[in-house]
Amino acid sequence: MRFFLLLTLSFLSFQGLSHTDLYAQVPASVLDLSHFKLTLPTDQQKSGKADEIDGEELQTYVNDRLFFVDPDGDGVVFRATCGGATTKGSSYPRCELREMKNGEGERAEWSSGDAGTHEMTLKLKITKTPPVKKHVVCAQIHDAEDDVLMVRLEGEKLFVERNKSEEVMLDRKYKLGTMFDLKIQAGQGNISVWYNGKQAMNWKHSTDGCYFKAGCYTQSSEKKGDKAESFGEVVIKQLQIRYADQ
């Protein structure tokens, strides 16, 4: 029996499944995903659209190559390959969560001018960038038209990229695998960012149709010189979205 088990595990490891993968939790057991949908860098139906997972399906979904629980059992790995499928209006792949109102497919849409405060808090680390274009986005606010802000790593430079405004530096010498705390708040006509407990940005900006995004949005592709199998990777240990009335 022991010999058979070893052969079975060896075969599964050859297929890309480790012993850890076999007994891993699903990501929804580590993070509360009830108010999100997931976009993947895959197109299983060959429809020309990136695959999306939401609702009850997301509560049990795991992909041992792109979206899975880390070996420590307390974080979720988001991985987006450079040759992966992309969404409309983007040239880059993502394994990324998009804020929803509930688990029934209704999209969140709010204004940074609301009287209350919309907030996303995360504990995360960026663990890998593609070898040629070393750019990864780990968190966003998006509005009805475009990204409003992105928390972005370029090489060692971790910063907030703002639409039509100057960037805000978070860490000039970020080392891959370093855990950090991030908080993004929007409301009363302001958008603020905290990095490791310290406020890094307070931006007077009002826009509508907003929602949060978190995960790995790899900012490279084969056209940029990276191989299709190269990838960006982000591990999220904690993730919470809340709304507080004034």
Q: Which pLDDT does position 220 carry in this prediction?
A: 98
Pairwise CA distance, residues 233 & 165, whole Å:
27
Whole-number Å distance between alpha carbons of 149 and 40? 21
CA distance 110 to 161: 20
Residues 126-131, mean pLDDT to the nearest whole number: 99
Indicate the helix (H) or strand (E) that contains 128. Answer: strand 117-128
* CA distance linking residue 179 with residue 127, whole number of Å: 9
167 in a structural domain: yes
- Give the pLDDT band of residue 18 (cuts 50, 70, 90): very low
Q: Is residue 4 part of a domain?
A: no
Percent of the chain residues past pLDDT 70, beyond the cut: 89
Average model confidence (pLDDT) for the chain?
A: 91
Residue 197 lies in a domain: yes
Domain membership flag for residue 17 = no
In a domain, 22, yes or no: no
pLDDT-derived band at 143 (thresholds 50, 70, 90) equals: very high
Does residue 6 belong to any structural domain of this protein? no
CATH number of the domain residue 212 falls in: 2.60.120.200
User: In terms of residue numbers, what domain contains 227?
Assistant: 28-244
Q: How far is CA 34 from the centre of its chain?
A: 15
Question: How would you classify the pairing of strands 117-128 and 94-99?
Answer: unpaired
Query: Quick check: is 181 in a domain?
Result: yes
Number of domains in the chain: 1
pLDDT, tens digit, 9 for 90 and up, residues 148-176: 999 999 999 999 999 889 999 999 999 99
Give the pair of three-digit tokens for residue 35.
């108010």
Reported as type and span, the H/E element at residue 77 is strand 76-81
* pLDDT tens track for 46-76: 998 999 999 999 999 999 999 999 999 999 9
In a domain, 208, yes or no: yes
